[in-house]
Amino acid sequence: MQNNFLTKAAGFLCLFFVLHTGTLAQTGVSIIDSRHYSNVFGEIRNYRIFLPPGYYKNPGKKYPVIYFLHGWSQRYFGSSVDRYAEYDKGSDNKGDNMEKFVAHHDVIVVKSDGYNRDAREEYYLRPYNIGPVETFRQFPVYFPELIAYIDATYHTKAERDSRAVSGLSMGGFMAFMIGGKYPHLFCAVGNFCGSPEFIIGPKDLPVEYRHLDMYKNYDGVNIRLNYGDKDFIRGYHEDLNKVWTQVMDNYQYKIYPGEHSTIGLGEMFDFLFTSFSKPIQKPRRWNHIDLYPEFSVWDYSIRTDRTVPGFTVLENTDQRGFKCSVRELLPDGELMPFVNVSVVTAPVYELNQWYIINDIDVKGIKTSRDTIRSDQEGRLRITFNGSVHEIGINKKVDKPNIAMAAFKIKNMDWPTPGKEVVISVKLINKGLTTGKIITAGLSANDHIVHIKKGESTFGSIGINESKTGEIPYVFQVINDSIEIVKFKLTIRDANKNEWIEFFEVPVMKDVPEIKNFKIADGTEFTVAKNGTDSETLVIGHGNGDGIANAGESIEILVKDQDKYWRTKLTFSDSAVDLPGINIRKSENWGSFDHVGGSMKYSVPILSSKYSGDHELRFFAEYWLPDKPLHIIKQGKIVISVSGSDHEPPLISWVNVPGDNILQAKIQDGSKIKSVVATLTAKDKNTFKINLNDGGKEGDRAEGDNIFSKMIPAHEFGFYKVSIEAMDLFGNKTLHDVPDEVILH
């Protein structure tokens, strides 16, 4: 019995030393490699921790924490194959490393492990399960668990204002991503030479996550980017800086002489450490974008039943309400009204009290009112769909609640520097009383924009009513290098109530017209691919005559350097893309620049409304390779639309989300007349159902291009599905779903 006890005790001691081993450096810093069990991953996870001198002598002292995420081919213990950056201790990074920083600062540094393979699988160099998504490991979901473990195990200041996250390369991408996903957990975020975008998210719902689009996620967080003037990723950093420096007050960057590494580590960590003593206050009003169907931020819990890739977008969130939508892509991808959304607010309301919720569906131009009782914590649960919803939260007797609904450029296709831009603004009132004598003043950075007419009047705005300003605003962008302008709209009423709204307006350069291009409308072309490669394939959907005809889905190909290049198109003409349609695709340039970024290109659908000659104007953008950089070329393109619609509808996807509702996303240049699904069982028994987009019989939202039907009760089993769709002109398409669906 005693020997058995000693054996168990020895085993425990052995396990302890395996789980917790380290060294004491000459600087007095304790560098420890340790492990913990992760419930998120269902396995043991490793980390390295740097504890400052005197840590063990002062057990009552608490320390802030800087988390660090390593890059490609690296682990928590250092580099495994390609030693492009060492930064832990001794002479690493020319002495500018973690050990040195911790030796002179009262801070803990935690270096987590991004390894993304089971121990029984082949060793793998790409961390964090990104670009592409290959396993079910979700490192962003794991991070709060790691934080909770570190706070419970070490002498940390377990608070947001004493916590920062940073990373190198792919770890820099993740640091920006995690810092933006959890602004309530971190007061500062640092990125060394981070990649600009990756495919990331749940294995079945991966999305293209691009930092350039995510600037609104960092309300209340200090942000910094370090990169080298010879870094192979620097072109993407320059793209980011053109936008973030214009729309964020809390962002800074620094360029160092050097390549891809933890360049300027000491200065970066000083920036993070200083943020602990001078954190930005929690924002009174905040924004957030999340790729996960369910998430929490700032003590709000958001749940959706989304079963396709996409993003949930929360804007202008405060105690009086918020704006919410679910989109396929950012910043202006197709909406998902077929998705149900539930928002549980933070506990900021009176307990067990009734509140009146005004819900304005901005796109559907629908309004509703509901009365909801707060729970015993002071939270409200509000439900709606994935369209654009302005939610007003009101007491029984409350003042107006004015918000900006939209803006519109009046005098040109897109804003251009040096020209006077006329813009109208629409306001809505989601409060409980009429807003009287509403005025709104427009302002912006004086060094960038000259406001020529900055005041407008709106009269009185009733409950759930929207109004466009009586006087358009006029501004002129002074600097021709500006790509986006952030405006402030100050709204006031007769009772001296005031509301502040911010919005951004993209700006396009005044570029010459491109003449050397082709219209791909079902034509075989050899086009550039991934920077320096080429491929030959049929592009677009149409009759293949190279002329833009009504109903066709086209791509515009620009000839440059003896190749045809796909283009990203900006336009404002209603002859392109019926409401709810915005098709944008990506071409990854990873094989060229080894970064993970992608060139975007557009596939507009030409409306059948314009069967005669109609001129279309596009602002076109395409990339050219300049290894390791990409050159962004821009120009105006003018085409004519003619002919009649002879093109069948396009079926993007078919889905059975689990409740025996069959969904099909179908798009066309006209309205869809009929959609019929044929289901065939294993025993060859067949039945047909008519899908609809009218918001009935299982279809969740009217007019969202998702055709649905609740399938009648059938025996459990696997079925083959084919979809036949016909438009108003009798054009038909037949689509066989490659995978079987399960009915119950």
d(CA 437, CA 434): 10
pLDDT at 319: 96
Q: Are 398 and 471 contacting, i.e. CB atoms less than 8 angstroms apart?
A: no
Q: Please report, rounded to a whole number, the percentage of residues in the chain having pLDDT higher than 70.
A: 97
Q: Which residues contact residue 277 at a Cβ distance below 8 angstroms, ignoring those fewer than 6 apart?
A: none
Tokens of 449: 């924009």
**Mean pLDDT across 726-738:** 95
**Mean pLDDT across 500-507:** 96
Residue of 668, 673, 648 whose CA lies nearest to 733: 648
Does residue 563 have a pLDDT over 80?
Answer: yes
The structure tokens 């950075």 sit at 445
Does residue 4 have a pLDDT over 80?
Answer: no
DSSP state of 590: H
Looking at domain 22-277, its CATH superfamily turns out to be Alpha/Beta hydrolase fold, catalytic domain (3.40.50.1820)
DSSP state of 575: T
pLDDT in tens, 236-254: 999 999 999 999 999 999 9
d(CA 486, CA 273): 29
CA dihedral of 55, 57, 58, 63, whole degrees rounded to 10 = 0
pLDDT in tens, 22-42: 778 788 999 999 999 999 999
pLDDT at 12: 34
pLDDT in tens, 353-392: 999 999 999 886 789 999 999 999 999 999 999 999 999 9
**Mean pLDDT across 711-736:** 91
Distance of CA 685 to the CA centre of its chain: 44
Q: Which residues contact residue 292 at a Cβ distance below 8 angstroms, ignoring those fewer than 6 apart?
A: 140, 141, 201, 202
Backbone angles phi, psi at 242, to 5 degrees: -60, -30
pLDDT in tens, 409-460: 999 999 999 999 999 999 999 999 999 999 999 999 988 999 999 999 999 9
Tokens of 277: 């003593």
d(CA 271, CA 364): 46
Give yes or no for a cis peptide into 628 (omega within 30° of 0). yes
- Please list, residue by residue across 17-26, b when 16 or more beta carbons sit within 10 angstroms of its beta carbon and e when fewer do: eeeeeeeebe
As beta bridge partners, residue 691 has 675
Sign of CA dihedral 26, 29, 35, 41: negative
pLDDT at 138: 97
Question: Between β-strands 78-79 and 108-112, what pairing exists: parallel, antiparallel or unpaired?
Answer: unpaired
Does domain 402-506 match CATH 2.60.40.10? yes
Does residue 17 have a pLDDT over 90?
Answer: no
- Please list, residue by residue across 615-641, b when 16 or more beta carbons sit within 10 angstroms of its beta carbon and e when fewer do: ebbbbbbbbbbeebbbeebbbbbebeb
Its CATH class, for the domain covering 650-743, is: mainly beta
Q: Coil, helix or strand for 538? A: strand
Give yes or no for a cis peptide into 331 (omega within 30° of 0). yes
**Mean pLDDT across 61-84:** 92
d(CA 138, CA 157): 26
Does residue 714 have a pLDDT over 90?
Answer: no
Does residue 498 have a pLDDT over 90?
Answer: yes
Q: Which residue type occupies 392?
A: G
Residue of 455, 443, 403, 392 whose CA lies nearest to 426: 403
d(CA 715, CA 396): 51
Question: Largest Cα–Cα distance of the chain, in whole Å?
Answer: 96
Please give the mean pLDDT across all residues of the chain.
93
- Terminal CA-to-CA distance of the chain, rounded, Å? 56
pLDDT at 111: 98
pLDDT in tens, 179-207: 999 999 999 999 999 999 999 999 999 99
Distances (CA, A) of 59 to 55, 56, 63, 109: 7, 6, 11, 17
> Please, which pLDDT band fits residue 14 given cuts at 50, 70 and 90?
very low
pLDDT at 11: 37
pLDDT in tens, 109-145: 999 999 998 878 888 889 999 989 999 999 999 999 9
Q: What is the DSSP string of 482-550?
A: --EEEEEEEEE-TT--EEEEEEEEE-----PBP-SEEEESSEEEEEEETTTEEEEEEESBS-SSSS-BT
CA dihedral of 301, 336, 310, 289, whole degrees rounded to 10 = -50
pLDDT in tens, 213-236: 999 999 999 999 999 999 999 999
pLDDT at 1: 38
User: Residues in the chain, how many?
Assistant: 744
DSSP state of 705: S
- Would you say the pTM of this structure is higher than 0.75? yes
> Please, which pLDDT band fits residue 20 given cuts at 50, 70 and 90?
low
pLDDT in tens, 311-327: 999 999 999 999 999 99
Indicate the helix (H) or strand (E) that contains 234. helix 234-247
Does residue 731 have a pLDDT over 80?
Answer: yes
CA dihedral of 334, 336, 341, 345, whole degrees rounded to 10 = 10
Most confidently modeled of 112-121, 291-300, 588-597, 681-690? Answer: 291-300
pLDDT at 494: 95
